[in-house]
Amino acid sequence: MSSPFNKVFQENSPLKQGGYEGGGDIAGAQYVPTGQMYADMFAKIGQAVSDIDANKKKKEDIQKVKDGLMSQEEFDMKHNPKSKNNKNGT
């Protein structure tokens, strides 16, 4: 026994219309698998957390330099490994 809802749902199913459109490319309306969208999202979240953590540590180290607990050279080696002031940088 089939309900009218099932019939409408099956006829208008995204699979019958060519598949699901992902959120990764709305303008171009290209198919992006849901798993890939989640993988991209979590990668971006992970990168944001990493950036926030690095920024927090940098601010703490700036305060250490101001308080005299860390030299400017130590700060540069830690946060600017390729700077001109870092003698070990490349």
**Predicted local distance difference test score (pLDDT) of residue 7:** 67
DSSP state of 26: T
59 plus 18 within the same structural domain: no
Q: How open is the CA angle 11-16-17, to the nearest 5 degrees?
A: 105
20 plus 38 within the same structural domain: no
Torsion of CA 8, 13, 16, 21, to 10 degrees: 150
**Is the pLDDT reported for residue 90 higher than 50?**
no
pTM: 0.50
List the single range of 16-20, 57-61, 64-68 with lowest mean pLDDT: 16-20
27 plus 38 within the same structural domain: no
Phi, psi dihedral angles at 10 (to 5 degrees): -70, -35
42 plus 82 within the same structural domain: yes
What digits encode the pLDDT tens for the residues 42-63?
A: 999 999 999 999 999 999 999 9
Ranges of H-type helices in the chain: 4-11, 34-67, 72-79
Torsion of CA 36, 41, 45, 51, to 10 degrees: 80
CB 37 within 8 A of CB 22: yes
In which domain, by residue range, is 14 found? 1-32
Number of domains in the chain: 2
Selected residue with higher pLDDT from 41 and 86: 41
